[in-house]
Structure 1
């Protein structure tokens, strides 16, 4: 069964950190989420005034953050002593767990800064697990070449075609996330099986795309939520298309969010605030 467009959540222009300009689709308004996805931001600018102030030290608890850098260079540092350079084509996958305080600061004063940040919820049983961090360099992200000349970068989960399976570096997570970056030439078609148990959406960041069966045009810079089914079917327009494909198992748990803290109850949020204010994250 082909997955059709169920909803379109436009990216809303906003800013975060110390004034970094971005577009927020999922998470742009309270309750506008797709379990277990909490938020998706796209940042894209050639003007350093839009990004140079970066994201100074700030806390998180209860979920995972995924930063995918299309262009640019940022430095991650956290209170656990981790430090990593996030460069063009690379990914930072951070599990905030019971608490982390980190910063993400641009290491450039000119040129393009472009990419995505995704927040994925953790199940209640894992929200207070120790924080963790992975830097994934561009050379460690496998790329599957498509018959028509396009390609797929596999960041999380697997991509299978023509009897071959390509596995991304992120595996073994409870929500079984799929994260693909798909590049299609003009008028190319693309299919990928996404298990019906997973919630799924697309985000087109270049070109034009049609989705589903029958095909329906999908806008750029919006979260394109997919309906029931087990097959993604898309076709690029005359200029080709570049998009990310995201899917994961829903948690079906209550979500209580207060800024950078995402828990299951108000009492847990109050505890997170108290722990942060009293420097208990520092011993996570």
Structure 2
């Protein structure tokens, strides 16, 4: 008998603001984030009101993890201390490895219209937290978009997509956490059975529509996040036209100590990060 992944929890995001007052929804993050290991936070932002996003994210630091910004609509300009300048636009991804330290800004390059997308924080293992910082500006044409035999369009951002019929490597491959990051655009009635390695954490976030998860009686509606068990098969069926993020990764199983934009393995390392930032040594 086929073992199916079970839904361990379902939750709704909470409205908040970040940066210089950008309004967003924190899907998860903060206390208890260990259950999402290796992921630390997921924010959804989306508004057609300039006052909700125009102030952007002025220069700020990070250490100890990676940020993945996936833009659905709008234009955002990235600049960092390494001299990188990138334009994040609809369908594109910014993958930044903060490691020992990055100071960067993300500012809207528009004064009106819709700004919509997601930012995911992905942890780094302790051995890599003080490694070299890096940045990749991934334009839409570099991100594979495929259509399965069941008519589901898949945006393959990271990892390897495989449903037993179609295989496609994503734009990004990462060691240690081995993340999979897919965006499913599902017509009503369409199903998809993505393969996820045993032992990987699996998160599903519906940002449009509603889906059924095989073996579960409760449907997963819009703006809901499901955390699944680490073993078994997965099948999704769209109740209506739907868009769903699948985010999966290999848990690190290490201590997580966070203070704002710094995520390390111990309080002592956090205190060192704060001293380094104060003394202008964060990126040294």
Give the TM bin, normalised by the shorter chain. Answer: over 0.9
Q: Which residue of 2 aligns with 1:58?
A: 60
Q: What RMSD over aligned residues (CA atoms) do the two structures have, in Å?
A: 1.2
Deviation at 1:186, TM superposition (A): 0.8
Give the structure-1-normalised TM-score.
Answer: 0.96
Q: For 2:260 and 2:83, locate their aligned partners in 1 and report how far apart those are by CA, in whole Å.
A: 24
Q: For 1:42 and 1:110, locate their aligned partners in 2 and report how far apart those are by CA, in whole Å.
A: 19
Q: For 1:13 and 1:142, locate their aligned partners in 2 and report how far apart those are by CA, in whole Å.
A: 32
Q: For 1:146 and 1:129, locate their aligned partners in 2 and report how far apart those are by CA, in whole Å.
A: 38
Return 5+ residue gaps in structure 2 as ranges: none
Greater mean alpha carbon deviation, residues 162-171 or residues 183-192: 162-171
Q: Which residue of 1 aligns with 2:254?
A: 253
Q: Which residue of 2 aligns with 1:96?
A: 98
Deviation at 1:30, TM superposition (A): 1.2
Question: Residues 178-230 of structure 1: CA distance to partner in whole angstroms, max 9, x if unpaired?
Answer: 00000000111111111121011011000111113145301321321011423
User: Structure 2 matches for 1:1-284, cutoff 5 A?
Assistant: 1-27=3-29, 29-33=30-34, 34-161=36-163, 163-237=165-239, 239-283=240-284
Q: For 2:18 and 2:79, locate their aligned partners in 1 and report how far apart those are by CA, in whole Å.
A: 18
Deviation at 1:162, TM superposition (A): 5.1
2:202, 2:230 within 8 Å by CA — same for their partners in 1?
no
1:148, 1:185 within 8 Å by CA — same for their partners in 2?
no
Greater mean alpha carbon deviation, residues 266-275 or residues 223-232: 223-232
Q: For 2:266 and 2:220, locate their aligned partners in 1 and report how far apart those are by CA, in whole Å.
A: 36
Local SS of the residue matching 1:193: coil
1:5, 1:212 within 8 Å by CA — same for their partners in 2?
no
Return 5+ residue gaps in structure 1 as ranges: none
**How many residues were matched structurally?**
281
Deviation at 1:282, TM superposition (A): 4.2
Q: For 1:160 and 1:58, locate their aligned partners in 2 and report how far apart those are by CA, in whole Å.
A: 37
Q: For 1:162 and 1:5, locate their aligned partners in 2 and report how far apart those are by CA, in whole Å.
A: 23
Greater mean alpha carbon deviation, residues 267-276 or residues 167-176: 167-176
Give the structure-2-normalised TM-score.
Answer: 0.96
Q: For 1:230 and 1:55, locate their aligned partners in 2 and report how far apart those are by CA, in whole Å.
A: 40
1:62, 1:262 within 8 Å by CA — same for their partners in 2?
yes
Question: Residues 218-257 of structure 1: CA distance to partner in whole angstroms, max 9, x if unpaired?
Answer: 13213210114232211111x3110110000001100110
